[in-house]
Amino acid sequence: MKLWERVVEARLRKVVEICEQQYGFMPRKSTTDAIFALRILMEKYRDGQRELHCVFVDLEKAYDRVPREELWYCMRKSGVAEKYVRVVQDMYERSRTVVRCAVGQTEEFNVEVGLHQGSALSPFLFAIVMDQLSEEVRQESPWTMMFADDIVICSESREQVEENLERWRFALERRGMKVSRSKTEYMCVNEREGSGTVRLQGEEVKKVSNAYAPGCPHDPKDHHTSKKVTFFH
């Protein structure tokens, strides 16, 4: 099955063009490129003594939340031939699983939402979904990078980054995804006194220190640095 998934993935990659902002599971791109790009941007603003506002967006159980109908729609919109859409649909038809726990395991039940865990094809299918769901909002929020389901939104003003965060939230959540309110974080580079906080639907986004920026030392006693910041290390 893994071999067949790789064959399908290779054929999809030949016809689907993913946006430049996506660094996850793309050929000739890696986390190193994302780290470098973000560090260069931060250093530019530090050298110029200007503020740079960044929001690190966390998606809750991203792979598990992808609606199947959205997957088929995004594949077709990306230019995937109908025969390959049907190939992937066949892979997902009658998907069943069990849940194991301390007292045993459940009976088999149907899985009707989400991508297959552990599938060689799932990362690229997710990239297709994210590319299509974010197509419109990327035009309004050009300073954005993605690494699979990790999203970084940057802007020169707190108000603008807050507006862009809301645009991303709306674009993703109206199509079945979910932005985590507890794990999404805000950071201001070269912060001036009283620059304020960022809110998401009225709820204050957790603010992290500049000390957690890529390449900067951080306090080893602090165990609360989230993956949104550390995945750029």
Q: How many CB atoms lie within 10 A of CB 195?
A: 13
DSSP symbols for 111-147: --BSPPTT-SSHHHHHHHHHHHHTHHHHHH--SEEEE
Number of helical (H) and strand (E) elements in the chain, helices listed first: 9, 11
pLDDT of residue 215: 38
Residue 35 lies inside a defined structural domain of this protein: yes
Residue 26 lies inside a defined structural domain of this protein: yes
Threshold 0.75, pTM exceeds: yes
The CATH number assigned to the domain holding 127 equals 3.30.70.270
Query: Which backbone phi and psi does 6 adopt, to 5 degrees?
Result: -65, -40
Range of the domain at 131: 20-66+116-230
- Domain total of the chain: 1
Share above pLDDT 70 across residues of the chain, in percent, rounded to a whole number: 84
Residue 9 lies inside a defined structural domain of this protein: no
For the chain, the residue count is 233
pLDDT of residue 76: 98
Nearest to 126 by CA among 83, 33, 64, 168: 64
Residue 183 lies inside a defined structural domain of this protein: yes
Residue 158 lies inside a defined structural domain of this protein: yes
Assign 153 a pLDDT band (cuts: 50, 70, 90). very high
b/e burial code for range 199-209 (CB count within 10 A of at least 16 → b) = ebeeeebbebe
179-197 tens-digit pLDDT: 999 999 999 988 877 668 9
Q: State how far Cα 183 lies from the chain centre.
A: 13
Residue 100 lies inside a defined structural domain of this protein: no
Residue 82 lies inside a defined structural domain of this protein: no
Q: Which of 116-125, 138-147, 155-164 has the lowest mean pLDDT?
A: 138-147
